[in-house]
């Protein structure tokens, strides 16, 4: 966790001054540490904080102790999600060892428990999975009126994949996506459907060089 807040320093505190009983730095640090340790919801995060309060005091200020689960919930609901995503991605990539030739797999999945019993909206995400690090490097939510074809380039924009091998299923077999990967100086393997003409397995070369298989 050393140096984690260097990547979250650009997040503006959305609260008014009179309601700042806890440091934003402390709230973010506790949340990330708790989730890494298996916390699934705001109550779990509060419970973890109380269990680890002695250790947390060696890292954080905690002027008013551990925040309540309502405080965690309220603060994160106010934080700009795009800024949070950028900060989190920056941190994850700083601790992941991206080496030339590493495989990074892009795949779309339905978020677990979303749309449960028809009570929640179904959420689809595109994730970048690092095989070497056994971790997700970044995620991009698929907008309700969009699909993976538009989400994948947005995800690639936030990743440093120079020299990596990008794999995507047939949904990503698009010239625009291939061009984006080339622009990011990476190689790629794109799956192909029966009704598509090309299986793209080339990088750093003009699209005119695509070979039919």
Q: Is the pLDDT of residue 39 over 70?
A: yes
Task: State the pLDDT confidence band at 63, using cuts at 50, 70 and 90.
Answer: very high
- For residues 185 and 165, give the distance between their C-alpha atoms in angstroms, rounded to a whole number: 10
- Determine the average pLDDT of the residues in 129-156: 79
Task: State the pLDDT confidence band at 31, using cuts at 50, 70 and 90.
Answer: very high
Quick one: how far is CA 18 from the chain centroid? 32
The rounded percent of the chain whose pLDDT value lies above 90 is 30
Average the pLDDT over each of 35-39, 185-189, 193-197 and give the range with the smallest value: 193-197
Hey, how many other C-beta atoms are within 10 angstroms of the C-beta on 91?
18
Contact call for residues 27 and 71 (beta carbons, < 8 A): yes
Bigger pLDDT: 184 vs 121: 184
- For residues 156 and 167, give the distance between their C-alpha atoms in angstroms, rounded to a whole number: 12
Residue 23, C-beta contacts closer than 8 angstroms, at least 6 positions apart: 60, 61, 62, 63
Q: Is the pLDDT of residue 211 over 60?
A: no
- Determine the average pLDDT of the residues in 106-131: 68
* pLDDT at position 190: 84
Of 130, 75, 63, 129, the residue nearest 97 (C-alpha): 130
- Determine the average pLDDT of the residues in 124-128: 84
| DSSP symbols for 25-81 | HHHHHHHHHHHHTT--SHHHHHHHHHHTHHHHTTT---TTSSPPHHHHHHHHHHS-H
Q: What are phi and psi of 139, to 5 degrees?
A: -135, 155
């Amino acid at each position: 966790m050393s140096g984690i807040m260097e990547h979250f320093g650009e997040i503006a505190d959305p609260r008014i001054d009179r309601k700042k009983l806890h440091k934003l730095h402390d709230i973010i640090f506790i949340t990330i540490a708790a989730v890494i340790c298996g916390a699934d919801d705001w109550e779990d995060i509060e419970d973890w904080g109380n269990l680890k309060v002695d250790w947390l005091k060696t890292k954080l200020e905690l002027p008013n102790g551990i925040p309540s689960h309502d405080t965690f919930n309220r603060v994160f609901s106010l934080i700009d999600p795009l800024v949070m995503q950028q900060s989190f991605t920056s941190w994850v990539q700083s601790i992941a060892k991206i080496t030339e030739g590493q495989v990074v797999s892009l795949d779309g999945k339905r978020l677990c428990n979303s749309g449960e019993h028809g009570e929640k909206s179904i959420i689809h995400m595109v994730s970048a999975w690092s095989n070497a690090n056994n971790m997700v490097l970044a995620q991009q939510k698929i907008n309700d009126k969009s699909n993976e074809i538009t989400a994948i380039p947005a995800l690639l924009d936030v990743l440093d994949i120079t020299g990596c091998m990008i794999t995507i299923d047939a949904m990503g077999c698009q010239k625009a996506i291939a061009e984006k990967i080339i622009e990011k100086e990476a190689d790629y393997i794109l799956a192909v459907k029966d009704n598509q003409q090309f299986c793209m397995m080339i990088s750093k070369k003009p699209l005119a060089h695509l070979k039919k298989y």
